[in-house]
Structure 1
Amino acid sequence: MARSGSQQRSAAVPLAWLWLVLVVYASLFPFDGWRWPPGAGLIDLMHLRWPRWWDVFDVVANLLGYLPLGLLVALGTLHAGRPWPRALLQAAAAGATVSFAMEVTQQLLPQRVPSLMDWVLNAGGALLGGLAAVLLGATGLPQRWSRTHDRWLDSGGAGAVVLLMLWPVALLFPTPVPLGLGQIGGRLRDLAMAALVDVPWADTAVAWLEPGPSALRLSVVSEGLATGLGLLAPCLLVYAASRAGWRRALLAIGAPLIAVVATTLSTVLNFGPSHGWAWLTPSVAVTLGVASGLALALVWVGPRLAGGLALVALTGLVVLVHQAPTDPYFAQSLQGWEQGRFIRFHGLARWVGWLWPYAAMAWLLARLGQRD
């Protein structure tokens, strides 16, 4: 039985934690070259200075980067029934505290330039986000969203909402096949081999980890199956958190539209506008149509059955994408990202794309493990 809106956990809470992870990633990327500044004490690290130069991009990025954090913290506080002054205070305090911690930590990274201005802008952005949440609360929009949430989703559905919102972000990183998320095996292998370098007793393990010859591409059937499962998985994921009925049909119709927009945007960003639709071949279009039809046919299945089917779809997806080679043209596009301002976002999208299926599996297993 679903809990009432006031008792339902707000999706703003997990989203705030996810945005915090994004902030930490963007603040400390590329996470290497750590060193303690020569001759500096702990108090010296906490002393932030005003920068000698700045540009408009940095000002806007620092201001807007913390606005969602303040917005989500304040919305979560308001959802818990706290008064708006407390929500505004918690949003501002969260932004100021996190930003100060990041600026101090950046002192240990030679590639980053911490400054007092960044801290002021970050704290100001969080405060603006808190103000926006208070204004939204005055309009009654969060309450209407909570009632809509209760009509569409069972209790505990906030996790599914967060995963669904992350799905388009995951698709921005180039995949070995359309919608083929979760190909993290190569990265894990590289990390393991790097950790075992010069370890005398690990020769056998290193030899076992050495990548063997891979096929040039998946078969047409396997590629189509991976693409279809990549579309079915998010639909079934939300089915597992919602009541059977016609409302699910909106998701089954909207999911392929989101997939097309996100994948096309990814192709444009990585290979240029002239290649934006190159991924949407006739076979891929047919696969998307068939998968959408299956999603529509399953709108009346129960949540537990939908969760089981989602686990099957996700398992099949990750098995298939790990049989596919990495896109040989991706290295060329990555160089352009690395020379630009958006490499940190690109790196984040890569990790989201790699981990999304496994996070979805973890949520589904926890969901199915709950007693009715």
Structure 2
Amino acid sequence: MPTSRRPIVLSRYLALAWCGLVVYGSLHPFSGWRDTGASPIAFLEGGWPRYWTVFDLVSNVVVYLPLGFFLVLAMHRLPGRFTALVLAVLLGGGLSFGMETVQTWLPSRVPSNLDLVCNTLGTLLGALWGHVVGPRIFARLSELEHRLIAQVPHAELGLTLLGLWLLVQLSPETLLFGTGDLRQLLGLPGAVPFAAESFVLIEAAITAFNAVAVGLIVRLLCAQLAAAYLVVPIFFLAALAVSAIAAAILVNPAEAFAWLTPGARLGLIVGGVALLPAMALPALARTMIACLALVMGLVLVNLAPHNPYSLAALAVWRQGHFLNFNGLTRLVSTLWPFLTLPFLLLTLRRT
């Protein structure tokens, strides 16, 4: 793929991913659908909402801001100076209108013309931001990808998946680096009873396997081995920082490092030691190891018993405004390995 095309393709992946996140957050929890007999566009004629907060207004603007930004970058090559800007605002506003309309059938959601205005405003601000800084962003991205990003198939998809993996770390409910837990989604009980000694080992194995898989994906996308030995630790430090900040904000500042359990610490050490030689292996071997590590982590996270101590700590968590956000991160965590494994298999086939 030509160098000048890759940033545009990446922005399309990001716009599509963000659109999916917005749809999920707007319609969560996808239950209790009913027909009230009201027109789905009746909210357009409604007055000022009776119940609203500044947090709601700001969050409605902020959530759609990245969508407008990514859409403008994705349509950067369209003819006309303001074509991408206008289309981005129309698409963002159309998506918001569709979500507000569908919310008519959800008892837990209240469609609002004020939400529509805030969402469209957020799209407009993001689109203006992308329109102003877009050319400089493309020039910078083209320079960075030429030096840092390997010429592997679907590298843009890999970068998007890594961004989603960082989003998973915002959930205080998941084990460190643990993804793919289907039990809550399918309503399945724990496979084995909890025992402190075995749980430490299981947690360590989950952390280690996922660290190896994710680290090798980062290595796969790095053009230079020397750069990978710098980028991979920085990426994991960023993930740990996200976990700490999320725990401090969503749960309690005193619980900022509650996720750094003995099992997690052991898993980080084992995973780091295993990554050092694995990153220097040939591309085919690295991709196969990443696939195996991802599958092993997926199996273990579905076999791991529920930790009663973590459940007790989370019982005091009042999700409030973050209820939909928490459902979103949980869904991304569940689906992530099932989205990543096909990417690795495609890369393995080309390798």
Percent identity for Structure 1 against Structure 2: 31
Which residue among 160, 163, 176 is the counterpart of 2:161?
Answer: 163
Aligned residue type for 1:75: L
Aligned match for 1:255, one of 225, 232, 235: 235
Q: CA RMSD in A?
A: 2.6
Q: 2-side partners of 1:172 and 1:268: how far apart?
A: 10
Structure 1 window deviating more from structure 2 (276-285 vs 256-265): it is 276-285
Structure ID, larger Rg: 1
Asked if the contact 1:236/1:310 (under 8 Å) is kept, the reply is yes
Partners of 1:170 and 1:222 in 2: how far apart? 20
Contact 1:100 1:119 in 2 (8 A): yes
Greater shift, 355-364 or 125-134, is seen at: 355-364
Distance in 2, matches of 1:59 and 1:226, equals 39
Structure 1: 4+ residue segments shifted above 6 A = none
Question: Partner of 1:355: helix, strand, or coil?
Answer: helix
Partner of 1:194: none
The answer to whether 1:364 aligns with 2:321 is: no
TM-score (norm 1): 0.83
Q: 2:215 aligns with which of 230, 235, 246?
A: 235
CA–CA distance in structure 1, aligned partners of residues 113 and 264 of structure 2 = 50
For 2:141, the aligned partner's letter is W
For the structure 1 residues 169 and 156, does the alpha-carbon distance in structure 2 shift closer, same or farther, using more than 3 Å as the test?
Answer: same
| Paired position in structure 2 for 1:12 | 11
Task: Tell me which residue corresponds to 2:109.
Answer: 112
**How far apart, CA to CA, are the structure 2 residues paired with 1:293 and 1:82?**
51
Structure 2: which 5+ runs fail to align?
none
Alpha-carbon separation, structure 2, partners of 1:184 and 1:297? 32
Shift of 1:258: 2.3
Secondary structure of the equivalent of 2:296? helix
- The secondary structure found in structure 2 opposite 1:341 is helix
Counterpart for residue 142 of structure 2? 146
Match of 2:128 in 1: 131
Write the distance in 1 (CA, Å) between the matches of 2:91 and 2:183.
36
Judged with a 3 Å threshold, the aligned counterparts in structure 2 of structure 1 residues 36 and 330 are, in CA distance, closer, same or farther, namely farther
Distance 1:329 1:266, change over 3 A: farther
CA drift at 1:322 = 1.9
Note the alpha carbon deviations across 1:266-290, whole angstroms, 9 max, x for none.
Answer: 4435652223223335664354234
* Cα shift at 1:295: 2.5
Q: Distance in 2 between matches of 1:150 and 1:365?
A: 24
8 Å CA contact 1:243–1:303 kept in 2: the answer is: no
- The TM-score normalised by the length of structure 2 is 0.88
Tell whether the 8 Å contact from 1:270 to 1:333 is kept in structure 2 after alignment: no
CA gap of 1:117–1:187, structure 2 versus 1, over 3 A, is closer
Cα drift, residue 37 of structure 1: 2.0
AA aligned to 1:163 is L
CA distance in 2, matches of 1:336, 1:119: 33
Equivalences for residues 270-285 of structure 1 within 5 A: 271-281=251-261, 284-285=264-265
CA shift for structure 1 position 160: 1.1
Q: 297-306 or 328-337: which moved more?
A: 328-337
Separation in 2, partners of 1:58, 1:271:
20
How many residue pairs match? The answer is: 346
Residues 113 and 305 of structure 1, relative CA distance in 2, 3 Å threshold:
same
